[in-house]
């Protein structure tokens, strides 16, 4: 008997992961990808001897990746190696203080007390609560589809749901941090975790305090070869498991007959399958692949997550005071978020993230030089003049770094590429270039993301950063697992 056919649209991290899962489950799987290579946001750019990751730069929760390789019966070490970082990030404050988020708790506690004056026990207690929240509630919410009745009947789910403290639902992340910490520096460091899903700490629910657990308790990691190694490893595993790939293949439609997904249209030709999984932004899927304007408009009305302007700079000097991950904080974080989410503009004193993988691998920059991935959070695209905004931001970034590093960076830039929200949108079909789909600034948006299946169309499933449980590599991998299990139980 022939095995059932599955079509995956898109080869982002979740598309690759679900392709592997379904292939292992016995499906004949074909992935159709509009770009010439796999990876989606998880891609690479090379120029003048420099190599830059263009999307994600922080790798957390490698157990999710390992789980996928275990599921496929393969030894992950044959595909990718990664190591834990001693410190996940070095923070630079406008008052000249610095703070390393060491993964070693004793070191972190000592650093906290000595460098920013935050009592060690506050940090340790916070991280303990974050771990409890993740274990008691997070694991159940993040690993199951919230829109399936079967989930709500699970004992663990009922237990988790009833254990949610109302305070965590009704206070914002910033309010929670103001009660947990005594110093502005600690509040700012922990507020920043809201940006991990493109949200505003002054609006999003304090339940998002589970995010620091993933980085600071479970650890931050660096994959050998850079983030692109994750795409490469998933692609290699998919090939090994028999997944077929068709690149430069922009899918035009999803074929639906009597509310059943029956395949796709590519190059004006029908290609049939038993199930279809969209790894593409949900708005794009409804608007362009299903021609469902009503659903597309419903998504369009929701507030988008933030986007980014990224400067890829080849720097002809090395900066020993900087690490792999560095943050140069804004002097007024609240005003920065107000500018991004309410004024939908770029802030004059932006928080600057600088990722330098040549700190880990000599091959990523010419000898004696560094590859700087400089990222600024900006609003999703709503028609702003991005060329003008990028030029303004570049000047502000250079001015700020000159002040904080005591060095003029501009003459050191020997190669440059600028990535703006419209480019992120065009490359990956992300609506408005939003990095994580809709923001988690409201409780509803934070907890009820788009389901992993279609309620109207049988045999149509969704995975990736715009659906449950959320954006970022670990959650995208979880969405693929949820879809794999759903397909198994339903077909």
Under the rule (CB under 6 A), what is the footprint of ligand FAD? 9-15, 32-35, 40-42, 55-58, 250-251, 279-280, 308, 310, 375, 424, 428-430, 435-436, 464-465, 471-473, 476
Report CA-CA distances (Å) from 43 to 38, 160, 425. 8, 37, 14
**Residues 41, 55: contact at Cβ < 8 Å?**
yes
Nearer to ligand FAD, 310 or 352 (CB): 310
Instruction: Name the minimum Å distance from CB 459 to ligand FAD.
Output: 18
Residue 425 C-beta: closest distance to ligand FAD, Å = 10
Question: How far, in whole angstroms, is CA 90 from its chain's centroid?
Answer: 20
Q: Tokens standing for 289?
A: 């692949």
Query: Minimum distance from CB of 97 to ligand FAD (Å)?
Result: 24
Query: Which residues have CB under 8 Å from 105's CB, separation 6+?
Result: 124, 127
Please state the closest distance from residue 289 (CB atom) to ligand FAD, in A: 7
Q: How many other C-beta atoms lie within 10 A of the C-beta of residue 368? A: 9
Q: Which is nearer to ligand FAD, 57 or 371 (CB)?
A: 57
In this structure, are residues 46 and 52 in contact, taking their beta carbons and an 8 Å threshold? yes
CA angle 454-457-463, nearest 5°? 35
Phi then psi for residue 208, to 5 deg, are -70, 0
Burial classification of residue 213, based on how many CB atoms lie within 10 Å of its CB (0-12 exposed, 13-18 middle, 19 or more buried): buried
Q: Give the Cα-Cα-Cα angle 319, 227, 88 (nearest 5 degrees).
A: 55
Closest distance to ligand FAD from the beta carbon of 35 (Å): 4
Instruction: Select the residue whose beta carbon is closest to ligand FAD and give its number.
Output: 12
Judged by beta carbon, residue 144 or residue 305, the one nearer ligand FAD is 305
Least Cα distance to 123 among 172, 183, 60 occurs for 183
CB of 207 to ligand FAD, least distance (A): 19
- Minimum Å gap between C-beta 52 and ligand FAD is 11
CA distance 261 to 252: 14
Least spacing, CB of residue 300 vs ligand FAD, in Å: 17
Between 32 and 181, name the residue whose CB sits nearer to ligand FAD.
32
Nearer of residues 246 and 412 to ligand FAD, judged by Cβ = 246
Closest to ligand FAD by CB, 193 vs 319, is: 193
What is the strand order of the sheet 5-9 is part of? 244-246, 28-32, 5-9, 275-278, 460-462
Q: Give me Rg for the CA atoms of the chain.
A: 22
CB nearer ligand FAD, residue 168 or residue 364: 364
Give 303's DSSP letter: P
- Is the CB of 50 or the CB of 181 nearer to ligand FAD? 50
Please, what is the minimum distance in Å from the beta carbon of residue 6 to ligand FAD? 15
* Residue nearer to ligand FAD on the CB measure, 24 or 290: 290
Q: Kindly give, in sequence order, each residue whose CB lies less than 8 Å from that of residue 52, ignoring residues fewer than 6 positions away.
A: 44, 45, 46, 312, 357, 364, 371, 373, 417
Q: In degrees rounded to 5, what are phi and psi of residue 114?
A: -75, -40
- Kindly state the tokens that stand for 310: 């990224």
Q: Which is nearer to ligand FAD, 17 or 180 (CB)?
A: 17
How far, in Å, CA of 392 to CA of 394, rounded?
Answer: 5
The residue (of 54 and 144) whose beta carbon lies closer to ligand FAD is 54
- Look-up: residue for tokens 């000592």? 110
Give the burial class of 243: count Cβ atoms within 10 A of its Cβ; 0-12 exposed, 13-18 middle, 19 or more buried.
buried
Least Å distance between CB 464 and ligand FAD?
A: 3
Q: Least separation, in Å, of the C-beta of 31 and ligand FAD?
A: 9
């Amino acid at each position: 008997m022939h095995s059932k056919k599955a079509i995956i649209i898109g080869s982002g991290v979740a598309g690759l992961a679900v392709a592997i899962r379904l292939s292992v489950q016995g499906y004949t799987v074909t992935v159709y990808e509009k770009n010439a290579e796999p990876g989606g946001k998880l891609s690479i750019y090379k120029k003048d001897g420099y190599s830059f990751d263009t999307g994600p730069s922080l790798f957390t929760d490698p157990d999710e990746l390992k789980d996928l390789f275990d599921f496929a019966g393969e030894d992950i070490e044959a595909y990718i190696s990664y190591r834990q970082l001693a410190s996940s990030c070095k923070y630079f404050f406008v008052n000249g203080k610095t703070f390393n988020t060491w993964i070693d708790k004793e070191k972190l506690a000592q650093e906290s007390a000595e460098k920013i004056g935050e009592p060690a026990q506050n940090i340790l207690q916070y991280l303990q609560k974050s771990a409890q929240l993740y274990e008691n509630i997070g694991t159940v919410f993040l690993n199951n589809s919230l829109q399936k009745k079967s989930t709500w009947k699970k004992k663990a789910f009922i237990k988790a749901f009833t254990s949610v403290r109302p305070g965590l639902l009704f206070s914002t992340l910033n309010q929670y941090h103001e009660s947990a910490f005594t110093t502005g520096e600690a509040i700012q460091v922990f507020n920043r975790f809201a940006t991990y899903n493109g949200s505003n700490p002054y609006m999003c629910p304090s339940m998002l305090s589970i995010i620091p657990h993933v980085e600071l308790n479970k650890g931050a990691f660096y994959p050998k070869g850079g983030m692109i190694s994750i795409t490469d490893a998933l692609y290699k595993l998919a090939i090994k498991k028999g997944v077929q790939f068709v690149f430069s293949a922009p899918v035009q439609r999803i074929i639906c007959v009597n509310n059943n997904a029956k395949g796709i249209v590519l190059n004006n030709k029908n290609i049939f399958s038993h199930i279809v999984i969209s790894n593409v932004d949900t708005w794009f899927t409804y608007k362009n692949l299903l021609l469902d304007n009503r659903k597309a408009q419903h998504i369009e009305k929701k507030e988008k997550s933030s986007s980014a302007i990224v400067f890829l700079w080849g720097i002809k000097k090395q900066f020993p005071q900087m690490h792999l991950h560095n943050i140069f904080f804004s002097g007024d974080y609240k005003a920065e978020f107000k500018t991004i989410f309410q004024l939908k503009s770029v802030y004059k004193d932006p928080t600057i993230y600088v990722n330098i993988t040549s700190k880990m691998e000599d091959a990523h920059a010419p000898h004696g030089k560094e590859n700087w991935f400089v990222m600024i959070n900006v609003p999703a695209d709503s028609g702003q003049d991005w060329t003008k905004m990028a030029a303004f931001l570049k000047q502000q970034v250079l001015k700020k770094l000159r002040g904080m590093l005591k060095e003029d960076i501009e003459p050191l830039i020997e190669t440059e590429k600028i990535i703006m929200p419209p480019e992120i949108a065009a490359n990956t079909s992300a609506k408005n270039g939003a990095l994580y789909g809709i923001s988690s600034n409201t409780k509803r948006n934070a907890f009820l993301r788009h389901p992993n299946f279609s309620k109207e169309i049988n045999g149509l499933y969704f995975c990736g950063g715009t659906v449950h449980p959320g954006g970022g590599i670990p959650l995208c991998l979880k969405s693929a697992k949820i879809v794999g299990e759903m397909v198994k139980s339903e077909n």
